[in-house]
Amino acid sequence: MARDRIQPLKIEGTDTGGTENDEFPTGADPNEDYLDARGVTLQNDTSDDEAVGIERDASDNQVFWDGANPSGLTLTELAAGTGGLTADAHKILRQLIHFIDDGPADGFASGAYREVTTPGVFPDVITWWESSGKTKKIVDLTLTWTGVNVTTEQWRVYDTDGSTVLATVTDTIAYSGIFETHRTRAIA
């Protein structure tokens, strides 16, 4: 498909931020001139609408919108998506996969505090707190015992407020004697 490339006409003046004074409309220099507009809409072969575009909002955010995102996403929101997640930001995500086995690690502040409720051979709740002050939970594990077997494990990860549960994973475990035969996982 042949694409028609056009050169917008410009009227440049030093009184409006330009570096030259052009008395008549002149072709914009694609290697030097910037277009000065709040935004731009983009068209396909048959459209004539505002369905896809880019703009600058009143808060100086660059906003992109299209049919899948008609209200728009800022550049910051797009960068925070999977493609913009840095290795350091990934370390501190509060997702259960980062905690299952034994609490917070790389990426979290030192000083996390582990508390075991009903300590001993058969603990029922193990909680990781942000500090020994126990004001904000990070993650906890609740265990249900049948004899010497753990029959239910429930992991919960908390938001940075320390009380809002972000995700729960519950394993129901079956045994043959003392040996695990299988487990069923529920994710909420």
Average pLDDT, the chain: 84
Give the mean model confidence (pLDDT) for residues 140-161.
Answer: 93
**Is the model's pLDDT at 100 over the cut of 70?**
no
Q: Please write the tens of the pLDDT for every residue from 48-98.
A: 999 999 999 999 989 999 988 888 888 887 877 655 556 666 655 666 666
Phi and psi at 80, nearest 5°, equal: -80, -10
Q: What is the architecture, at CATH level 2, of domain 94-187?
A: Beta Barrel (2.40)
Contact call for residues 35 and 43 (beta carbons, < 8 A): no
pLDDT for the residue numbered 157: 87
For the chain, give the percent of residues with pLDDT over 90: 40
R_g of the chain, CA atoms, integer Å: 29
Query: 24: which residues sit within 8 A by CB, 6+ positions away?
Result: 11
> Which residue reads 């500090």 in tokens?
131
Query: Where along the chain do its domains lie?
Result: 1-36, 46-85, 94-187
